A and B are shown apart, each in its own frame.
Chain A
Amino acid sequence: MTTNMKPQNESKIQSIMNSLDGCTSAEPSPYLLTRVMAAMANKNDMQNGWSKLLNVITRPAFALGGLILIVILNLFVYLNYNDSNSFNAASVTKTITVTDDFTANVNSFYEIENVEP
């Protein structure tokens, strides 16, 4: 590829390739140490008490798990609600029988006072 190149282009590429020669070191902000110390102190505070709990529950995996659980619960409730609404003759008969068997037969005062012999 380089064989087809014009000499001025070759020198241009060479000049780009050598542009970092003599590059001096860049310096960070003079407050770097202060910022590092502040960040470390902040991290310590974050690891205490409620922040720790907050850290856990705000994790994406935790939030996604919670969301999936809510969706499953909703589906479960929705499907069950639909089942109980559907008409089922057998279950109605069963309910009536159970009601008959277990109804407390409370008499009114009239019946108690006028007991037939």
Chain B
Amino acid sequence: MNKATTDTRINESEERHFATLVANYQNMVYNTSLGILQNEQDAEEATQDVFIKVHKGFAKFGEQSSLRTWIYKIAINTALDAYRKNRRTKQKGFGFLFGNNTLAEEPANFHHPGVVLDQKENAAILFKALNKLPEKQKLAFLLQKTEGLNVQEVAEIMETTAMAITSLLARAKENLRTIIGDTYKLY
């Protein structure tokens, strides 16, 4: 792809390069978005937006990080923006007329298509609990579990140190145990 191009209109050769890039990274982007948004349609839309941003921003890509890390960052930011927007929309509604404007609608169980069949129910519980974690903890946990990244790679994507990620993951796991225990009265 021509790096000088900022216009979203592309010629035939660029189109081929862009198609290769999409083919190489679409699963990675879609999976990341799916973990954060927990909705297949929203994840598809976020994936589309990510590739439009990648194409538009390719001229600005400075190669300080690898292309993969750069695309991961765009995917995470796009999915998190969409997630926050969805939550705000759900919270607003017409609840204020009945005095329950602070309660967000409880999302339906999310069944990740990549989870093995006998773990589907457990994974749905885990995804629900993940939504109650602080954003950074949720993100670190998802990148490690669903993307299979190691601590160093997660640290690079989240622009922090490996030590900080280790501590973030430990807190995420501890919080998840508490949330699951409290929700399902296991304590």
Contact = CB atoms under 8 A, between A and B. Distances in A.
Interface of A: 1-2, 4-6, 9, 12-13, 15-17, 19-29, 32-33, 35-37, 39-41, 43-44
B50 to A, nearest CB: 9
A17 B126 contact: yes
Interface residues of B, number: 43
B contacts with A: majority SS:
helix
Contacts of B122: 15-16, 19
Given A20-B126, A21-B145, 8 more contacts: A2-B177, A5-B186, A20-B112, A26-B113, A28-B26, A32-B44, A36-B51, A44-B9
Nearest to B49: A39
Contacts of A16: 122, 125-126, 129, 180
B187 A20 contact: no
Contacts of B181: 1, 5, 9, 13
B55 A40 contact: yes
Interface in B92-147: 112-116, 119, 122-123, 125-126, 129, 145-146
A40 B19 CA distance: 13
Contacts of A6: 186
Nearest to B114: A24
Nearest to B28: A25
Contacts of A23: 112, 114-116, 123, 145-146
A65 B34 CA distance: 38
B44 A28 contact: yes
B23 interface: yes
Nearest to B41: A29
Contacts of A41: 8-9
Given A20-B145, A20-B146, A32-B48, A26 B30 contact: yes
